[in-house]
Amino acid sequence: MTIGMLMNIKGQVTVPAEIRNAEGWQPGDEFEFVKEDGKIVLRPMPSTETRGQRFVRSIAGKGTANMDKTTDELMEMLRGE
């Protein structure tokens, strides 16, 4: 099956209802684009994690805590007062 689709200025493409219905895709489902053998493939995300959970997991442990300062000292640093 070949169906042409137009990308809008925001980079969004509407998946035709015929495909959504055939695949059982619902609003809120998450997908990934994968490059396979020189082709771009759209497929449902294999994980049960939400996008937010994946983001939190990806940044966990990458920040540094400034535990030697009080909240007031940190706020002064941020505000430049």
Where exactly are the structural domains of the chain? 1-62
Give me the helices (H) in the chain, please.
17-23, 51-59, 71-79
- Report pLDDT digits (tens) over 58-80: 788 776 665 788 888 878 888 87
Distance CA 32, CA 74 (A): 39
Please check whether residue 18 is in contact with residue 3, taking contact to mean a CB–CB distance below 8 angstroms. yes
pTM exceeds 0.75 for this model: no
Pick the CATH number of 1-62 from 3.40.640.10, 2.60.60.20, 2.10.260.10, 3.30.465.10: 2.10.260.10
Cβ 43 vs Cβ 34: under 8 Å: yes
pLDDT for res 64: 67
Indicate if the pLDDT at residue 7 is higher than 70. yes
Task: Using the predicted structure, report yes or no on whether residue 34 has a pLDDT greater than 60.
Answer: yes
